[in-house]
Amino acid sequence: MTHALIVIDVQNDFCPGGALAVAGGDDIIHGINATMNDFDAVILTQDWHPAGHSSFASTHDADPMSVIDMPYGPQVLWPDHCIQGSIGAQFHADLQTDRADLIIRKGYNPAIDSYSAFFENDKTTPTGLEGYLRTRGINTLTLVGLATDFCVNYSAVDATRLGFDTTVSMGLCRAIDFDGSLDAAKAGMQGAGVTLG
Ligand code: VGL
Ligand code: ZN
């Protein structure tokens, strides 16, 4: 078994004070740092949007947290966040980034959002992470980070679907929990075969 830790989007904009702050988002950072040495590989993801991204409410003159239909399905519209090169897009200063073997960026395509570390929201455009993991012989994944109900959830479901043995360490995640999204995400992950640890 070769086991990787995947740390999802521990960035300033998802922590208190950020543009899309997740309650308690910074509480998990010390625990994430402390567990890094338990793994054969550590991979970080970074939400990385161009200004004017199609997932931003401001791009559509719409209210944040409203939902629109995109060619690939419904899309929640978010406040502007994690803009390429901005302070908000940087990893939280307390996150130990030196231990990371790989940093994978996502959401850079202006027309498609990307919650999952594996596929954009069209569910078909790959990020390349699957190939990286397979060529390194990694078959087991533990996911932690932000937010439980969006990027962690989508990444975990895709990982399981791709055949990786996947656990989400719930104590090292925090949720946006918008309109029942956390309960739906938990049910979806369990239904897909993700272990909630
Ligand atoms: C995320 C909403 C928009 C996340 C990213 O990291 O969960 N959520 N972009
Ligand atoms: Zn985003």
Are 89 and 12 within 8 A, CB to CB? yes
- For the annotated catalytic residues, the residue numbers are 9, 106, 151
Confidence of residue 31 (pLDDT cuts 50, 70, 90): very high
Residue to mutate (ligand 1; options 91, 114, 118, 150; most atoms within 8 A of CB): 150
> Which ligand has its closest atom nearest to the C-alpha of 112?
2
> Cα of 167 to ligand 2 centre, how many Å?
22
What is the atom index within ligand 1 of the atom nearest the CA of 151? Answer: 7
CA distance 30 to 121: 30
Whether 150 is in the pocket of ligand 1, judged by its Cβ within 6 Å, is yes
Q: What is the dihedral of CA 157, 91, 89, 65, to 10 degrees?
A: 50
Helical residues (DSSP H) of the chain, grouped into ranges: 29-35, 129-135, 153-161, 181-192
Residues forming a β-bridge with 44:
7, 103
> Cα of 166 to ligand 1 centre, how many Å?
20
Cβ neighbors of 117 (< 8 A, separation 6 or more) are: 6, 8, 43, 45, 104, 106, 127, 129, 151, 155, 158, 159
Q: Which amino acid is located at 20 in the chain? A: L
Are 107 and 47 within 8 A, CB to CB? yes
> Which ligand has its closest atom nearest to the C-alpha of 116?
1
Taking alpha carbons only, the member of 95, 61, 99, 98 closest to residue 77 is 61
pLDDT at residue number 166: 98
> Which ligand has its closest atom nearest to the C-alpha of 108?
2
Confidence of residue 168 (pLDDT cuts 50, 70, 90): very high
- Mean pLDDT across 86-105: 98
Whether 76 is in the pocket of ligand 1, judged by its Cβ within 6 Å, is no
Q: Which amino acid is located at 33 in the chain? A: N
- Mean pLDDT across 165-174: 98
pLDDT at residue number 40: 98
Confidence of residue 171 (pLDDT cuts 50, 70, 90): very high
Confidence of residue 143 (pLDDT cuts 50, 70, 90): very high
Confidence of residue 72 (pLDDT cuts 50, 70, 90): very high
Q: Which amino acid is located at 35 in the chain? A: T
Confidence of residue 8 (pLDDT cuts 50, 70, 90): very high
